[in-house]
Amino acid sequence: MTNIRNIRQEEAANMWISSNKKSMINSCPRFGKIKTAILVMQKMNYKKVLCAAPRLEVIQSWKNDLEKWKFDIDIEYVTHTSIEKFKDWKGDLFILDEPHELSLNEIRKAKSIVDNNSTLALDGTTTNKTRDKLFSELGISTCYRYSINKGVEEGILADYNITIHLVDLNDNTPYIETKKGTITEKRRFGQLLYLKNKMEEERKSYFHLDLKIISLLQNSLAKKNKTLEILNKFKDERILVFCGSTNIADSLNIPVYHSKSKEKQIFEDFCNGKGTHLATIKMMESGVTILPISKGLVNYTSGSPEEAGQKLCRFLGIEYDNLDKKADIHIICSDTEFEKSRMKTALLFFDENKITWKKRI
């Protein structure tokens, strides 16, 4: 019986080949984007290829998969941040991996490469806003789309339940010291929100206040305490924790892997099934396979559906010795309209019938 994933990969590769060859395959995580790119390269007999990816870990995934599929081709690699170094590159194919992570400046630096080469963009979570930006800036259209919910329906992704735990911000422990005394995180949030609303009414820029509010939520004591409570509940189960700051990740008393603590062996061991708990920030969001893993804990995620989609899909990989797997994902959210509104936007790619909002009584 033909694997549905193989059918969809062939379908996607053929759609790109029949396009103008400057287009994107937008398929859910776990679809097999590298295998799809290999099919494109084989069918077109491409030999000279450049691949731009967001991080070194993603580049390593490309190398691992090319070896796994015994596809012998000499691909050059570059991270998004260094893409300008290849502005004069010409070859058979330019692969733009995870373009939703490109800044506008990086997109514009990639323009000369796209203009002069066939371009295959590959992404797992892309909003209409990102698609519009790629088309207007680079002329890259979307030739194939395959959603997360379609992946669950056809068995490429595991089924899932998402529980959002609403917590009140801490109103007991000092958050900052002022000349007038200490201020809790709940009171500080209220102050920042008041200033934001006031500046919005006056039509003044309040971006800096948004950043301060986000930093408070990323480092919230109330959210940290709820994270520790859930970790303790699942102390004997494998669970990956996504945090919003290195300070919170480091304070959970479990192994960590992030930009300030890159112990590669810890990262590789966890991906290969060793270890019970691991905290990270963005290092495992895309291009990385973690097996077995079915339980996730998210201390913080932004309001970006693309970022949240990449995070949560780390837990939806099919495990062939556990075909009935149902991912159990827990997200900590402050009981504030600011964060709840962002959370609803972040979960745009997921079925709302599989999402439960839980308030402690």
The predicted model gives 128-154 an average pLDDT of 95
Per-chain mean pLDDT for the chain: 92
**The two structure tokens encoding residue 121:** 């963009």
Q: What pLDDT is recorded for position 181?
A: 83
CATH 3.40.50.300 fits domain 4-148: yes
pLDDT exceeds cutoff 60 at 225: yes
Residue 296 to residue 239: CA distance in whole angstroms: 5
pLDDT tier for residue 285 given thresholds of 50, 70 and 90? low
4-148 and 159-169+220-359 in the same fold: yes
Residue 181 to residue 39: CA distance in whole angstroms: 64
**295 forms bridges with which residues in the sheet?**
328
pLDDT exceeds cutoff 50 at 1: no
How does pLDDT run across 229-243, given as a tens digit for each residue?
999 999 999 999 999
Q: What pLDDT is recorded for position 180?
A: 79
How does pLDDT run across 19-73, given as a tens digit for each residue?
999 999 999 988 999 999 999 999 999 999 999 999 888 898 899 999 999 898 8
Residue 293 to residue 278: CA distance in whole angstroms: 11
- What's the N-to-C CA distance of the chain in angstroms? 50
> Cα dist. 170→62, 183, 197, 217 in Å?
44, 10, 22, 11
DSSP conformation class of 80: G
pLDDT exceeds cutoff 70 at 287: no
pLDDT tier for residue 302 given thresholds of 50, 70 and 90? very high
Peptide bond into 292 cis (omega under 30): yes
Q: Which CATH class is domain 159-169+220-359?
A: alpha beta
Residue 279 to residue 95: CA distance in whole angstroms: 30
**Contact between 113 and 16 (Cβ < 8 Å):** no
Q: Any idea where the domains of the chain sit in the sequence?
A: 4-148, 159-169+220-359, 174-216
Q: Ranked by mean pLDDT, which of 3-12, 257-266, 314-323 comes out on top? A: 3-12
**The two structure tokens encoding residue 348:** 């745009």
Residue 209 to residue 230: CA distance in whole angstroms: 30
C-alpha torsion angle, residues 253, 254, 255, 258 (rounded to 10) = -70
Q: Is 312 exposed, middle or buried, given 0-12, 13-18 or 19+ CB atoms closer than 10 A?
A: buried
